[in-house]
Amino acid sequence: MDNLTHSLVGLTAAKAGLERLSPGATALSIIAANAPDADVAILLTGDRWAYLQHHRGITHSIVGVIALALLVPLIFHGVDRLWARLQSRPPTTKLRGLMIVSVLVTATHPILDWTNNYGVRFFLPWSPKWYYGDLVFIIDPYIWLILGGASCLLVANTPAKKIVCLVLAALITTIVLVGPRRVGFPPPFFFTTFWITGLVVLIVLFVIGAGRRFGNKIAIVALLLVPLYWTFLSYAHSRAVRAANAMAADIIAPDGETISRLAAMPTLASPLHWDCVFETDRATYRFSLRLMSDGFPSSRVVRYEKPSGKLAEALEEVSRERSAQIFLGFARFPVAKLVDPACLNQTLVQLADLRYTEPGSRRGSFSLELPVACPARAEGGR
């Protein structure tokens, strides 16, 4: 998930009662909620492939999360003790309270990350296997609405904080109402109505001073609403998987292929729209579907044959490249194509993870393009 979501989880958890365990617990809660993303530091010494290799790696595993959950409060408390000594006063933080906060909040990070289709490697360093929840898009404005709304009700007690909340609300509303339209999937009327209704409810609660009247109960309710939302998404996901399997079977029926695996993945701010990727014994496919529709894919069907012939030879050649090894270790549905299948001189082999993009589309670490010598030229040079 994005770091705004992780930060809101930390802030809401603190306001739900964890802030009472120690001075500084609120700040620590936000830091701990984001701590596993410390792997971004790899960009200081490595390239994007090093980042792809290590992101959501050891710092997101069970071992890494436990280590961070213990290390972060020790550093936080140590800094407070050092600062207190310089000021000739006793330290204010309580290590035991900070430890409890850190353990509880840090554990939320890999769970949240598991819910989307990027995946998490829980059992590093022993197993590199990826685990995918496929429930929540990597950015989910509805979680922002729930947790951000609760946080604003509880912390917006100054004009500056009120302005920050208003700006965030305006930006998130733009994402919800405009973002899906830009990618061709306008949000259904129901969800637009739900979003606007949610904002109106939050405004009313703010006007009546709900934050002062109900206190941490608001944060507790917000935290409970998130798993309830996941339950709804889990139901929608099961419906999407069933629909995708039926559509996939119709797509491959003329060619007599067999489905080996399939994934239905969420889209931005539209729980009725799902991206579907499936693999058969001969090819990998991608299409989008809309629940409660006429049963046909709501986008074109993309198909990539399994590598064979010249493409298989090209993949064998580039498989020794570091970037290709890292990419293929990450990609869930890797596909490839040759820019020049005739391969008269030299060509490019294009790789992509079909859950995000297609070969030839330049989308950061989700695609890769490598030069490869044509077999005919390689033989003539011997």
Is 193 a domain residue? no
Is 219 a domain residue? no
Q: Are residues 273 and 354 in the same domain?
A: no
Q: Are residues 315 and 248 in the same domain?
A: no
pLDDT value of residue 375: 62
Q: Are residues 30 and 67 in the same domain?
A: yes
Nearest-angstrom CA–CA distance, 374 and 345: 6
pLDDT value of residue 211: 86
Nearest-angstrom CA–CA distance, 139 and 127: 27
Look at the chain and report how many structural domains it folds into. Answer: 3
Q: Are residues 40 and 70 in the same domain?
A: yes
Q: Are residues 5 and 78 in the same domain?
A: yes
pLDDT value of residue 187: 63
pLDDT value of residue 360: 83
Q: Are residues 291 and 319 in the same domain?
A: no
Q: Are residues 284 and 333 in the same domain?
A: no
Residue 293's identity, in one-letter code, is S
Q: Which of 257, 274, 303 is the last residue of a domain?
A: 303
Residue 271's region, left for phi above 0, alpha for psi from -120 to 50, else beta, is: alpha
Is 144 a domain residue? no
> If you average pLDDT over every residue of the chain, what do you get?
89
Nearest-angstrom CA–CA distance, 326 and 335: 15
277 phi and psi, to 5 degrees? -130, 135
Q: Are residues 105 and 124 in the same domain?
A: yes
pLDDT value of residue 192: 78
pLDDT value of residue 186: 61
Q: What is the mean pLDDT of each run of 10 residues along the chain (382 residues)?
A: 95 96 96 96 90 94 97 96 92 96 97 96 96 94 91 86 82 74 62 83 86 92 96 95 94 93 91 93 94 77 92 89 94 92 77 93 82 62 38
Nearest-angstrom CA–CA distance, 114 and 10: 17
Question: What are the pLDDT digits (tens) for 187-238?
Answer: 667 777 888 888 888 888 888 888 888 999 999 999 999 999 999 999 999 9
Q: Are residues 22 and 120 in the same domain?
A: yes
Question: What are the pLDDT digits (tens) for 133-167?
Answer: 999 999 888 899 999 999 999 998 888 887 888 88
Residue 54's identity, in one-letter code, is H
pLDDT value of residue 310: 86
Range of the domain at 351: 307-380
Q: Are residues 314 and 291 in the same domain?
A: no
**Residue 93, CA atoms < 13 Å, CB-side half-sphere:** 25
Q: Which of 78, 100, 133 is the last residue of a domain?
A: 133
Nearest-angstrom CA–CA distance, 109 and 37: 9
Is 74 a domain residue? yes
Q: Which of 303, 325, 350 is the last residue of a domain?
A: 303
376 phi and psi, to 5 degrees? -60, -40
Q: Are residues 258 and 312 in the same domain?
A: no
Is 359 a domain residue? yes
